[in-house]
């Protein structure tokens, strides 16, 4: 059965029907299907700067930014040119190349890591970082936080359920999806975010068995939940005290929250560094590229230098690393200053519109990253994020979409701006907000 598509979405609706016939849910990543907000996903035909254009010819101001990568906006001329030149030289050789060395040097010079290995997705980066941490320490347990997403790694698709006030015992971190055997998550401890007591208790009990603690440097996958002041430093210190590795997942925050990622906002100021880090999104410039890196002695355990195996046919792909390198070189301090400015304008506009309509909301930021929660209370962990009014968000989302703004189709996501969000794009957002807030109030 097919519901009538709104005016001007016929081609998207038709493509969605075709897609559903050959692909589960019609999409290649679940949230694209609009399951959380209802309706027909827009099939995008092209994008430039801050704008997406769908197959029905409708233009939208893009606040998804490919879920993070498009820091400079779409089809940036210099990135396009560098990619075109790279493509002209051939697209993959399965041998070492120049751009992967240059991108490695660029990231090693910016991030508090000594060595790096490229992969093709954030999932591979966190999966490999955990394998390396286990191989290096000779320990098996992994600690993660509820509401943090590290890709679809079996061992990390675990949540502690609703018992968030007490730390999890090994064995009671149940898989959050069928297909992940309990044996894959029984070595994972899931703790509530921002909860020092839970971390201390978990390490007191199991410290000598913990290979690593992995956390989003600042969670962005339950909406933006900044670490409490000193929380990351506390995690780094706790791990060090127990001989566990501190793995900071900067797939989303890296080169986004600031030029130096979330680490630039806390570690660089407070004087600590993670043992391992993971990167993705911005560093691939819109291509499949991601990485993990860290301490030289830990990275030396990686194959072929050391015994821990890890590999990839397209890892360090010359087109993807060229796109990433060009993007990072263009991501100057001015870009982040601008992202702060437009972010402040959009946040103020959203706050004003939602307040005027009487919609409970909380806007949270870390560096240039922010999200709007549809709850009146500050969100410090996943339980707080889950107290959002999801129907209100769905109404808000569709009212914005109808007015030419494409928000993420989920209330649990950051709103991604880019350096290409100019006055016209921002004004389009501001103009749409009051009516969208009214729609949320009526939901
Ligand atoms: N870690 C974080 C913090 C992420 O935000 C994501 C993706 N949203 C991932 C890992 C997984 O990356 P990918 O989707 O490229 O596998």
The model's pLDDT over 330-375, given as tens digits with 9 standing for 90+, comes to 999 999 999 999 999 999 999 999 999 999 999 999 999 999 999 9
Residue 93 annotated as catalytic:
no
Query: Which of the residues 56, 281, 338, 412 is marked catalytic?
Result: 281
Q: Which residues of the chain have pLDDT under 70?
A: 1-6, 159-173
Q: Tokens for 339? A: 């992202």
DSSP state of 65: G
Which pLDDT value is given to residue 170? 47
**Which residues sit opposite 280 in a β-bridge?**
none
Model ipTM value = 0.99
Contact 217/225 with Cβ under 8 angstroms?
no
Angle (deg, nearest 10), helices 231-241 and 196-206: 10
Regarding the beta carbon of 289 and ligand 1, being less than 6 Å apart is answered: no
Place of tokens 């821990």: 308
Regarding the beta carbon of 288 and ligand 1, being less than 6 Å apart is answered: no
Q: Tokens for 351? A: 């706050």
Q: Tell me the CA–centroid distance for residue 279 and ligand 1, in Å.
A: 9
Pairwise CA distance, residues 86 & 415, whole Å:
31
* Start-end of CATH 3.40.640.10 domains in the chain: 77-330
Q: Tokens for 272? A: 């600590």
3-class DSSP state for residue 54?
A: strand
**Cα angle at 122 between 120 and 124, to 5 degrees?**
65
Query: Which of the residues 62, 195, 249, 389 is marked catalytic?
Result: 249
- Ligand 1 atom closest to the Cα of residue 253 is 3
Q: Is 207 exposed, middle or buried (0-12, 13-18, 19+ CB in 10 A)?
A: middle
Pairwise CA distance, residues 108 & 114, whole Å:
6
SS (H, E, C) 100-139: HHHHHHHHHHHCCCCEEEEECCHHHHHHHHHHHHHHHHCC
Q: Tell me the CA–centroid distance for residue 236 and ligand 1, in Å.
A: 21
Q: Tell me the CA–centroid distance for residue 252 and ligand 1, in Å.
A: 7
**Which residues sit opposite 245 in a β-bridge?**
212
Regarding the beta carbon of 299 and ligand 1, being less than 6 Å apart is answered: no
* Start-end of CATH 3.90.1150.10 domains in the chain: 10-71+332-442
Quick one: fold of 10-71+332-442? Answer: 3.90.1150
Which pLDDT value is given to residue 176? 75
Q: Give the count of beta carbons closer than 10 Å to the beta carbon of residue 172.
A: 17
Closest residue CA from atom 12 of ligand 1: 122
Which pLDDT value is given to residue 5? 53
Regarding the beta carbon of 54 and ligand 1, being less than 6 Å apart is answered: no
Pairwise CA distance, residues 297 & 137, whole Å:
11
Which pLDDT value is given to residue 157? 84
Pairwise CA distance, residues 278 & 125, whole Å:
6
Regarding the beta carbon of 249 and ligand 1, being less than 6 Å apart is answered: yes
Regarding the beta carbon of 410 and ligand 1, being less than 6 Å apart is answered: no
Q: Tokens for 293? A: 């890196």
Pairwise CA distance, residues 184 & 181, whole Å:
5
CATH second-level architecture of 77-330? 3-Layer(aba) Sandwich (3.40)
Kindly give, in sequence order, each residue whose CB lies less than 8 Å from that of residue 28, ignoring residues fewer than 6 positions away.
none
Q: Tell me the CA–centroid distance for residue 3 and ligand 1, in Å.
A: 32
Q: Over the stretch 275-314, which tens digit does the pLDDT of each residue have?
A: 999 999 999 999 999 999 999 999 999 999 999 999 999 9
- Ligand 1 atom closest to the Cα of residue 250 is 3
Which pLDDT value is given to residue 165? 27
Pairwise CA distance, residues 319 & 298, whole Å:
28
Residue 338 annotated as catalytic:
no
Which pLDDT value is given to residue 326? 98
């Amino acid at each position: 059965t097919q519901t009538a598509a709104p005016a001007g979405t016929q081609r998207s609706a038709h493509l969605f029907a075709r897609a559903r016939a050959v692909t589960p849910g019609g999409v290649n990543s679940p949230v694209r299907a609009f399951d959380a907000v209802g309706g027909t996903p827009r099939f995008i035909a092209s994008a430039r700067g801050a704008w997406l254009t769908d197959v029905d010819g409708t233009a939208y101001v893009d606040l998804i930014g490919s879920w993070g990568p498009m820091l400079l906006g779409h089809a940036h001329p210099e990135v396009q040119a560098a990619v075109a030149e790279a493509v002209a030289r051939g697209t993959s050789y399965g041998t070492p190349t120049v751009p992967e060395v240059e991108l490695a040097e660029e990231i090693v010079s910016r991030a508090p890591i000594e060595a790096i290995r490229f992969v093709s997705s954030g999932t591979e980066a966190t999966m490999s970082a955990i394998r390396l941490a286990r191989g290096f320490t000779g320990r098996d347990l992994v600690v993660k936080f509820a509401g943090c997403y590290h890709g679809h790694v079996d061992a990390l698709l675990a949540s502690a359920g609703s018992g968030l006030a007490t730390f999890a015992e090994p064995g009671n971190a149940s898989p959050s999806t069928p297909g992940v055997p309990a044996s894959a998550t029984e070595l994972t401890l899931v703790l509530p975010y921002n909860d020092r007591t839970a971390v201390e208790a978990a390490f007191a009990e199991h410290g000598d068995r913990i290979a690593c603690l992995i956390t989003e440097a600042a969670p962005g996958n339950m909406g933006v939940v900044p670490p409490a002041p000193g929380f990351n430093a506390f995690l780094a210190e706790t791990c060090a005290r127990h001989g566990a590795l501190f793995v900071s997942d900067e797939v989303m925050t890296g080169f986004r929250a600031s030029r130096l990622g979330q680490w630039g906002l806390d570690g660089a100021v407070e004087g600590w560094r993670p043992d391992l880090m993971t990167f993705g999104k911005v560093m691939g410039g819109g291509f499949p590229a991601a990485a993990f890196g860290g301490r030289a002695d830990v990275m030396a355990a990686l194959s072929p230098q050391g015994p821990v195996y890890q590999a990839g046919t397209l890892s360090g792909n010359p087109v993807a690393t060229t796109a990433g390198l060009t993007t990072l070189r263009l991501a100057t301090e001015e870009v982040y200053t601008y992202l702060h400015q437009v972010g402040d304008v959009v946040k103020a506009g959203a706050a004003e519109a939602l307040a005027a309509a009487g919609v409970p909301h909380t806007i949270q930021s870390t560096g240039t990253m922010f999200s709007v929660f549809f709850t009146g209370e500050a969100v410090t962990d996943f339980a707080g994020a889950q107290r959002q009014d999801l129907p209100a968000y769905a109404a808000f989302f569709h009212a914005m979409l109808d007015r030419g703004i494409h928000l993420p189709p989920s209330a649990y996501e950051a709103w991604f701006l880019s350096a290409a969000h100019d006055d016209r794009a921002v004004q389009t957002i501001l103009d749409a907000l009051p009516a969208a807030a009214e729609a949320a109030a009526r939901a």
